[in-house]
Structure 1
């Protein structure tokens, strides 16, 4: 298998924001420069149009008055007098045959006649620009009766001004864009200062300072959710470290008693010579302690695997009646020895789920119920179902657990009365394993406890047999912490299974 390609780091937020602001401001400046240039260019065109209209009005009036049809010096003087007030305007007049009737001292303007048709109205749409060898003109080809008149004015000064203005606008746009990018970069850096301060505070966090929290009130509102999420993560980590410390202490405490017993019994056995039966009795006693330790270590290993989600889960159809009857057969001899009756009531259909995990959870509940049920009493397992749920309740009689112990019933090694640690009662991991199964299985979730009567509940939702997807988990009214190997409870447990 080849080495996976390393994921590309996303572009810096500061770079992205700065580039975006720079593009936006540059675009705005470019549009502003184009608008200014276009507006001034239109203004010059209107100025030229006004000047050409004044000259055209005088020439048209003279042509209609003098009825010029052939070249005539006297009439040409009249046209020159009409053009006297129009400085900078050039004119060419030809008759219907194309003969030149009059022209000002100007380069050849006849090229415009060959390029555009004549019109009777002088407006912006009639104006055209063309170049000669030395100048640039704006003009129009007009009709006055049967005559063709070309009026034009040089716009070199206007174009020169526009070129200078254009250079100034583009230079200003470039400078303004660079300044805006610089300011945007500084603003983004300043805006990220709270993030840098938060990062510095986070780097100060150590396992000895997990109690420290960031104050959401001292950060911008945009970062309040981040700070709240970080504080929540710290709380979970702190709780995890606390549980780890407690578990380590509990394991040491639980192992100390059997190890001490083994050492004491071995020392006693070695203190003097004994017969074979005495050694055999000591070895059996040691074996019992070793089996107790082995069972506890196996339970701890299962809990660790469940927390790491390494427990294999295989979904299959489960016949709940058959499973519970099988568990009753398994516990029957022990229950008879303790004088406890096992009773199953109700019916339930098949559900989809992990058979081994459900069996182990039910086994722990039933075992706890048998262990803490008085002689002559009964353990009841009741099945019921509706359109959505199959419910499995494991109930036994007993005294109520004090309310202060309820939040800890699913903790490892927890007992309501620590002095009641007797041989055969287990290590206090029964409901801790049930809780781990519930949390490890994607379709199981513990719900809250209700009083009275006392009921330790967990709800298991299954998809219908023909629906393969997992089902959402819901949570009711129980603090899902604790273990129930404590000798005093009423309803031991309930599993709700969605059909």
Structure 2
């Protein structure tokens, strides 16, 4: 069901329920008022009849001869009076049935009004004190005028509710249409946005209501998508160039060797050159695969000891750079935890991130590499500090971009993917990678991860 129809239906049902409840209250209040007013009228008529008859002390024949039209007449009026000994001493008509009166007689007490119905008649029972004795009076009648008014009120409420229902539906349609116009405008603007027109944005309106908040959120998402597309475009451009160069070199070397090399020595030299290019290609491909794996947020997360990941990375780095001195020290650690080095994540990815930091430090520095493992603000931190060539301030924010290499680092082997992979791994684990560097003095890379 369309949201428009849902809004109309819910608005109609809600307002109709309120209207019906209000109409029921009016009808009930009017009926209760009518009943109370007529009951008081009946009680007054019965009391007045008893007072008149008892004060005149007429005999039984005279009392029965008094016609009810001599009093203020009520339609189908019936009055019965019982003495304190529960004997019927007066009735306005000898043919009146006293069955219900006799049934309710015991319930009529001083200060208490008894009400019941006898067919279409409404009956009240009251007491009247005369010379210290209580007489019981039953007065009955039909409230013709009150019932006619009640019927008219019922008809008015019925017609009014039906007419109001039509108006409610029209009002619901109008307000739903007006409320959804901004949404329709947003949908129309979104439909114009394609892969080739990601620079377009949705009108944010007044910037305060829910539709504006949706537009702002959508624009922010578009900005991220556009940035991701741009990064992907740049990455593909750089990757294709980086992959094409070693492939073309290896192919050219092999073709030249196949066409012109005539002895084994020349062939071996050409083959060795091609092998180096292929090794470079394999290394670049592995780095790209590592980046793709780091960008995948669906990897399995387990409880991992970060100190063990660091030990594996140090072992591999020392085997790769046997002449480089790496010093490990521990910073501030909590005293209450039995095992302070636990994090939630993927052991292979975390080891790769630490290895990339150590590899960069050893590659671009000839001095001692300092590694510190400690705590800071409920996070485990691994700081890798070298005294190497450093990174210029203008390039520091770009070295984590895929395939980007600083100007002073192009002489060393590499692909410009190590810091990119490390930053992605840190982000996927809810952590951060921070770089602080001074040219010719060294770089400090800090990997911070939430501790368990």
Question: What's the TM-score bracket when you normalise by the shorter of the two chains?
Answer: 0.7 to 0.9
**In structure 2, what is the Cα distance between the partners aligned to 1:142 and 1:390?**
91
1:76 is displaced (CA, Å) by 5.1
Task: Kindly indicate whether the alpha-carbon contact (under 8 Å) linking 1:397 and 1:489 is maintained by their aligned counterparts in 2.
Answer: yes
Q: Which position in structure 2 is the counterpart of 1:8?
A: none
**In structure 1, what is the Cα distance between the partners aligned to 2:194 and 2:53?**
101
Segments of 5+ residues of structure 1 without an aligned counterpart are 1-10, 455-486
1:169 is displaced (CA, Å) by 1.8
Q: Which position in structure 2 is the counterpart of 1:225?
A: 213
1:194 is displaced (CA, Å) by 0.9
Q: Which position in structure 1 is the counterpart of 2:329?
A: 346
Q: Which position in structure 2 is the counterpart of 1:460?
A: none
Number of aligned positions between the proteins: 434
User: What secondary structure does 1:346 align onto?
Assistant: strand
Q: Which position in structure 1 is the counterpart of 2:334?
A: none
1:368 is displaced (CA, Å) by 2.0
Confirm whether residue 294 of structure 1 aligns to residue 246 of structure 2: no
Q: Which position in structure 2 is the counterpart of 1:358?
A: 350
5 Å matches for 1:299-338?
299-309=287-297, 315-317=303-305, 318-319=307-308, 322-323=311-312, 325-333=314-322, 336=323
Distance 1:294 1:489, change over 3 A: farther
Confirm whether residue 246 of structure 1 aligns to residue 234 of structure 2: yes
5 Å matches for 1:121-160?
125-131=113-119, 136-140=121-125, 142=127, 145=133, 149-160=137-148
User: What secondary structure does 1:408 align onto?
Assistant: coil
Q: Which position in structure 2 is the counterpart of 1:427?
A: 415
**In structure 2, what is the Cα distance between the partners aligned to 1:421 and 1:146?**
120
**In structure 1, what is the Cα distance between the partners aligned to 2:88 and 2:342?**
106
**In structure 1, what is the Cα distance between the partners aligned to 2:29 and 2:350?**
81
Confirm whether residue 495 of structure 1 aligns to residue 447 of structure 2: yes
1:134-183 per-residue CA deviation (whole Å, 9 max, x = no partner) reads: x5344436456576543322224433442343243234224323432442
Task: Kindly indicate whether the alpha-carbon contact (under 8 Å) linking 2:64 and 2:92 is maintained by their aligned counterparts in 1.
Answer: no
1:254 is displaced (CA, Å) by 1.3
1:241 is displaced (CA, Å) by 0.5
Distance 1:488 1:185, change over 3 A: farther
Task: Kindly indicate whether the alpha-carbon contact (under 8 Å) linking 2:369 and 2:387 is maintained by their aligned counterparts in 1.
Answer: no
Instruction: Output the TM-score relative to the length of structure 1.
Output: 0.75
- Counterpart pick for 2:22 among 26, 32, 49: 32
**In structure 1, what is the Cα distance between the partners aligned to 2:419 and 2:24?**
77
Task: Kindly indicate whether the alpha-carbon contact (under 8 Å) linking 2:353 and 2:421 is maintained by their aligned counterparts in 1.
Answer: yes
Q: Which position in structure 2 is the counterpart of 1:378?
A: 367
Task: Kindly indicate whether the alpha-carbon contact (under 8 Å) linking 2:294 and 2:424 is maintained by their aligned counterparts in 1.
Answer: yes
Q: Which position in structure 2 is the counterpart of 1:65?
A: 55
Which 10-residue stretch deviates more, 30-39 or 379-388?
379-388
1:456-494 per-residue CA deviation (whole Å, 9 max, x = no partner) reads: xxxxxxxxxxxxxxxxxxxxxxxxxxxxxxx96711523
Instruction: Output the TM-score relative to the length of structure 2.
Output: 0.82
1:388-416 per-residue CA deviation (whole Å, 9 max, x = no partner) reads: 55543322224453322121111111122
Distance 1:305 1:239, change over 3 A: same
1:322 is displaced (CA, Å) by 4.0
User: What secondary structure does 2:321 align onto?
Assistant: helix
Which 10-residue stretch deviates more, 190-199 or 431-440?
431-440
Distance 1:103 1:113, change over 3 A: same
1:416-470 per-residue CA deviation (whole Å, 9 max, x = no partner) reads: 229x745x61222221222233234x25x224444xx54xxxxxxxxxxxxxxxx
Distance 1:276 1:381, change over 3 A: same
1:95-137 per-residue CA deviation (whole Å, 9 max, x = no partner) reads: 67887655435851523422311646687x3343212xxx534
Segments of 5+ residues of structure 2 without an aligned counterpart are 332-338
